[in-house]
A and B are shown apart, each in its own frame.
Chain A
């Protein structure tokens, strides 16, 4: 075991850094610029049963230290993802986390049943927290009962461990985390984006064509840290932390909050080489802070509570 490696349900990660879903396409786009094998994993773009066109443009707007997006889960659909996108990542030494979205329980179940057949898909990230689609997404993630029922249904058919991606757009995230754990979830990923809006002063209309969008970037990091801390104190299953990570110190702060691996989202857009840079910088910063290994750090945080 190297000092950066982490073992999670279904995932033997050579390091704890992975691009977050929706911020890395299906991987191909970045494979032109660096060897994807250096990454711990990739959480690929959300896959739905049928192809989705997504929302009209404009789909992004800048905010202080962040951005709003309303992409709307554009993706080529399960069949194409299985025949084109996932096989093209097989040449890399890389366990893939497949993000699954749907507008009904049946759709989630159908995608989850099939997507684990891809040999490189080692885990599913169940997207019950996308704020940018009318049906599905967040509607499944804001009620503990609905989230638990969906988790149970998916766990019956999934061939790989299932991580549930939680939404921060709730009054209390802890009961939802506990409910999905009880329903059999293997892990949790958090946080998805915070629902937000910006208005153009000249047109007096929302900047995003969708009206509202999901807020991400360094501006949301304190919210993510607080929620990861709350959830990891309440559940026993591992949490992959994300939300505003942009520096190696942010990565370590996520671990101190209770995370067991860290995903990088919006910063991939600002700096396409952010993930390789963080992986390279991590050992030095660990030395400076007296951290022997990531696994040890995770254990220490858990025991200190």
Chain B
């Protein structure tokens, strides 16, 4: 982990209230694992806590990375109004990302994302595509206006989309998309998921005994480095033990923690 004043080189609203922010700096050279996050200090002194935001895209050649976030709370609203050239205090990369070691060429992998949990699956998809895996993305959004990166994901593999209101793609949720995909590909090599707890639970229930299911968790954090004990979730194997989402996660193997 390093601290750096990274330069915001670009910001684009890519869906309703969803922003893609590009940061440039040497910190990018440290970013090696999809699923890791950076801890951003919003440049307003009364906003004390950093915001953990996952890395959506890493380009070591340009020393840039992209984060995608929803402007929802006070901090992310401030972020969405920043102008190009602003220097932003970033800590990172933090946490453990997705394990892709077991995936080899032609393996079928499922990547399941919901809403603002979708972004880290893009960098993960890129890494899996480099391994020539066959990627099936299953993404769920609230409605058509919330969808982003349709072309980008389609370029890496098959993209199945679902919306809650049926305004685009399949009307329903990602659990239904998984069932559909399983009819064609009954034995995916690995399943990766990021999104709300309902989505993570449904992935866990769909693949109860699968050895390679990885779930990215979200929890309110303070320090981001394991010192404050704020972002805990109970261990499934031993309920008297709490796991820290920031440094033991955010990606856990299925069965490791209680969702």
Contacts and interface: CB of A to CB of B under 8 A. Distances in A.
Main secondary structure of the interface of B (DSSP, over half): loop
A58 B245 CA distance: 12
A23 B220 contact: no
Interface stretch (B28-36, B44-52, B60-68, B158-166): B44-52
A24 interface: yes
A53 to B, nearest CB: 6
A203 to B, nearest CB: 14
A39 to B, nearest CB: 14
A218 B230 contact: no
Contacts of A54: 229, 232, 242
A65 B45 contact: yes
Interface residues of B, number: 32
- Which range contains the number of A residues in contact with the other chain? 35 or more
Contacts of A29: 223, 225-227, 247
Interface stretch (A66-74, A177-185, A250-258, A292-300): A66-74
B228 interface: yes
B53 to A, nearest CB: 15
Interface string B37-78: 000010001111110000000000000000000000001000
B237 to A, nearest CB: 14
A266 B48 contact: yes
Interface in B220-242: 220-234, 240-242
Interface of A: 22-25, 29-30, 32-33, 45, 51, 53-54, 57-67, 69, 71, 74, 217-218, 266, 268-273
18 contacts: A25-B227, A29-B227, A30-B225, A32-B225, A60-B220, A60-B221, A60-B231, A62-B49, A63-B48, A69-B230, A71-B229, A217-B48, A269-B48, A269-B49, A269-B224, A271-B3, A272-B223, A272-B225
